[in-house]
Structure 1
């Protein structure tokens, strides 16, 4: 199916809010605790804090010295790590909105970041083909992994922080590493470069996004156990709900999708994004989806989509931060 006919068959869903202000492509989104605010980073060299209900920016821009390609929020929600074109990793105090640390070591763009569950380590992936593990207190590199990828597009800790998964090109694979020793544990081959990764919170499954179908692997056997078919271009970002039952994905085919991981089937109509989207994040209660694209960020009412499909039970229980309808 051509890209044009594919898009023409999608139903238009209106975004809940459109957050405008960046002047460069928005490459990362992170939800603050409570799910009512999010932080975005952009190639315009800015981080911005947003109110998801109103779509308004909160406070002044957080100014970096270079283009910002990736952000990740610490487990306690107090610190943001950012990476960009100047090859450095920065730490930002969320409340003060200022840089508190700057780590040097990579020799190319830092395009992926992930915190360990305990918040004492940050893993970074770079176009230099290296994954680094940093000690947060000292700011020192404590582990350097030469991944074999030409570019590392994605890096993520397992829920117990015992393993790191990296995704990239050259060898077109997901690689699993021992997070303490850097020893290669497993290689999961793909036909194309891997741009996105997500580990279920129970640690039992690893999800990867590449060109076309999304793949799901059993982390006990490292065998592929399911594919989610539908996207017709590279899947650039994926996000899992906290109960591991709902998955969101965005793709260079200019759409976002929701997936029921109980059945591995899509939920609701396609969300036509209009542009290639490099980032997406579900809110903690999974009722709101944030997607980022050229210079705008959008919020989508996932709760309404699930309600229309009769699948509200896919939402996590005991988390409720629903934004008011406007």
Structure 2
């Protein structure tokens, strides 16, 4: 069955909602828009929390929140990575080194580092507190669609037209898998990487906290899907009124958020 009535609708975006991420407790939630604006939402109340965050001039490609709740990160078509103070909601660092769009960012599990991957074919690792580039540029073979720290923060996985893992401290290449991917995630134990094939147009995926369910959405599709990883069976389907741009599990695994061109973010139970 296709569900089209979400548990909550976050209304008030003036443009397509392009990215979504949760604070570690699952509340609040951060969204990015196609015009560069970002908003923070009270998930429990379903309302916007505070003012719009303005730091970018282009499409917000990705947002992330550090696990210690100190930092919000964002990457954009304007080539910038911005680190925001999550408490004051002011810009802490504007990192202007990438020469093309920033497609993906990820905070390390210890919240000390922020990784960024760009259309320019490079990845970098930044000290979140100081804004210093501590690793990189790591030269990948093509535009970097996705970048993720391993659970123990020792490795960095990048998705291009290859899956590659790198030493997160030195930037040394460790492993290359010849698969073209648009999105990837590490399992909780760090032994496996789940990847979405670029050729199948699955552009966004999110793994449940237990690593048992996988949520996915595709470019140019109004639907989001949930899959049982063990059986490969589809267990849920969610529908927006327009294309789904991003998908994310809450840290508790109880809800899934979707961001869409219909100017809304939805929360599904």
Scaled by the length of structure 2, the TM-score of the pair is 0.92
* SS of equivalent to 1:195: strand
Deviations 1:244-289 (A, max 9, x none): 1121111123221111223232213x22234322211111221111
Match of 1:15 in 2: 6
Cα distance in 2 for residues equivalent to 1:98 and 1:106: 22
CA-atom RMSD in angstroms: 1.7
Structure (1 or 2) with the larger CA radius of gyration:
1
- Name the structure 1 match of 2:258: 291
Q: 1:82: how far off?
A: 1.1
**Runs of 5+ consecutive residues of structure 2 not aligned to the other structure:** none
State which drifts further: 23-32 or 37-46: 23-32
If the length of structure 1 is used for normalisation, what is the TM-score? Answer: 0.77
2:171 aligned with 1:182: yes
| Cross-structure match for 2:117 | 125
The alpha-carbon deviation at position 237 of structure 1 amounts to 1.3
Aligned length in residues? 265
Deviates more, 1:22-31 or 1:90-99: 22-31
Other-structure match for 1:134: 126
Q: 1:248 aligns with which of 201, 215, 225?
A: 215
Q: Which runs of 4+ in 1 moved over 4 A?
A: none
Cα shift readout 1:109-158 (whole Å, capped 9, x = no counterpart): 11110111221111100111110111223312122111011x21100011
Q: Distance in 1 between matches of 2:214 and 2:108?
A: 21
What SS does structure 2 have at the residue aligned with 1:27? strand
Between stretches 245-254 and 139-148, larger displacement belongs to 245-254
Unpaired segments ≥5 residues, structure 1: 1-9, 213-232, 302-326
Q: Residue 42 of structure 1: CA displacement?
A: 1.3
Partner SS for 2:52 = strand
RCO higher in structure (CA 8 A, sep ≥6)? 2
Match of 1:207 among 181, 185, 194: 194
Provide the C-alpha distance between the structure 1 equivalents of 2:127 and 2:93, rounded to a whole number of angstroms: 12
